Amino acid sequence: MRASRRLVGAAVLWAGSFVALRVTFLAPEACPTPGPEAIEAAAVAAGGWVQRGEDDGIYVYEYDRAADRENPGYNIVRHAGVTMSLYHLARAGQETMDTADAALQKMLDNTVPAGEGIAYVDSDAVARLGASALMAAALAQRRDATGDDQYDAELRALGQFMIGQITTGGQMLSTFDLQAGAPVPGETSRYSTGEAAWAFALMHNLFPTEGWDIPARRVLDYLATARDEVEDLPYRPWADQWAAYTLAEMAEDGLEEHHVTYARALSERFAMLVRTESQKDSWPVAFVDPRARGGGLGVWLEGLGSLAFVAATDPRLADLEEPLSDRLVCGAGILAERQETASDAADWPTPELVEGAWFRDDVTRMDDQQHALSGLLAGAGQLGPVGS
């Protein structure tokens, strides 16, 4: 009798496990394949949303289409990131320079001396590493798109500020106290370290004789070997697309073995996230909100695009080139399919703030479009390291 009960219990456990797997990891995938031109058109449409909402160099931050209102708040790190993505579009040949340059002027107007350089700030109390790092990334993308060197002094000064935020072992402090004139000890960010590493790597590729590869590799070493554990980040490796961008910028110079190991781990993380997203429409029950934000899926595509470039460049990762490209195209197809079209937007009170966007609970934020458009450009084969 007891043996029978054990058999029944085992059967129930097996059946439950199979059902759980069937509705998650074993669920069928859905990967739309609109093609590179349609994917690039979706990126352009996302940029159009940003451009239509820009006013005197300031973007629409968050829009609620059900209430037909712009929600209060702003974030200068996201301002710099959106501007950087508009320069990504400019590198792809799209007409986004006027909007991006208006937003850049707002950043230039709000830089102050900090450490050995300058920082982009929104107060006279502190400077945030991420804002300056993404401003530097935006300037680097602009320079690559135009060949215009008029902001090289500002780019280098941002780099000098960021160098002052590096601590022992390549860790970066996220905050600088403008009143005390010194970094704030112990404050870090899961985002800004990778953003700064990427900015250093971009500067190295623009100015290859100036030694920017030294801080780039120092911080990349920390990201690859210690950051997740030291800063106790969840879901390791942390899905850091900025680190992936950094690996791509440094790949042609040659990566160390620990960088290759890290690139492989990041590849598995981003590929798993896109695979899971591609299966969600097959789930019979929405255990959680079943769809990633536009910004979230865009981040994964940015990571995959960068790592696909690394795999195409470094023979040690050659086995990942095709699967990474497949995941990238799958995710880009999903993202393009979920974008609001002009027809969708016509049903809302302010269609110009709906068309080209991605919404969750009827709300979109400017970084949804930022990450999505850069990720889509990667999926269309229109995004790579500077000079590529």
Considering just the CA atoms, what is the radius of gyration of the chain in Å?
A: 22
Look at residue 48 and tell me if it is in a domain.
Answer: yes
Summarize the confidence of residues 240-253 as an average pLDDT. Answer: 98
pLDDT at residue 1 is higher than 90: no
Is pTM, for the whole model, over 0.95?
no
User: Model confidence over 154-163: pLDDT tens digits?
Assistant: 999 999 999 9
Look at residue 16 and tell me if it is in a domain.
Answer: no
Look at residue 128 and tell me if it is in a domain.
Answer: yes
Look at residue 7 and tell me if it is in a domain.
Answer: no
List strand residue ranges (DSSP E) for 121-219, in order. Answer: 126-128, 175-177, 182-183
Q: Exposed, middle or buried: residue 333 (CB in 10 Å: 0-12, 13-18, 19+)?
A: buried
Which residue type does 151 have?
Y
The pLDDT value recorded for residue 27 is 75
pLDDT at residue 28 is higher than 90: no
Domain count along the chain = 1
Summarize the confidence of residues 232-244 as an average pLDDT. Answer: 96
pLDDT at residue 287 is higher than 60: no
Q: How confident is the model at residue 289 (pLDDT cuts 50, 70, 90)?
A: low
Residue 326, C-beta contacts closer than 8 angstroms, at least 6 positions apart: none
The proportion of the chain whose per-residue pLDDT surpasses 90, expressed as a percent, equals 88
Residue 365: domain span: 30-379
pLDDT at residue 15 is higher than 70: no
Rounded CA separation 77/138 (Å): 11
Summarize the confidence of residues 23-45 as an average pLDDT. Answer: 86
Look at residue 23 and tell me if it is in a domain.
Answer: no
Q: Alpha-carbon torsion 31, 35, 40, 45, what sign?
A: negative
Q: How confident is the model at residue 22 (pLDDT cuts 50, 70, 90)?
A: very low
pLDDT at residue 308 is higher than 90: yes
The pLDDT value recorded for residue 8 is 45
The pLDDT value recorded for residue 201 is 98
Report which of 30, 87, 63 is spatially closest to residue 373, judged by C-alpha positions. Answer: 87
CATH number for the domain that contains residue 373: 1.50.10.20
Q: How confident is the model at residue 286 (pLDDT cuts 50, 70, 90)?
A: low
pLDDT at residue 37 is higher than 90: yes
Q: Which of 205-214, 240-249, 280-289 has the lowest mean pLDDT?
A: 280-289
Look at residue 114 and tell me if it is in a domain.
Answer: yes
Look at residue 298 and tell me if it is in a domain.
Answer: yes
The pLDDT value recorded for residue 387 is 82
- Angstrom CA distances, 54 to 65, 105, 366, stand at 17, 13, 10
Write the DSSP string, 236-275: SSP--HHHHHHHHHHHTT---HHHHHHHHHHHHHHHHHHH
pLDDT at residue 14 is higher than 80: no
pLDDT at residue 95 is higher than 90: yes
pLDDT at residue 97 is higher than 70: yes
CA angle 125, 70, 47 (to 5 degrees): 90
Residue that has been written with the tokens 């900015």 in this structure: 199
Look at residue 385 and tell me if it is in a domain.
Answer: no
The pLDDT value recorded for residue 233 is 96
The pLDDT value recorded for residue 284 is 62
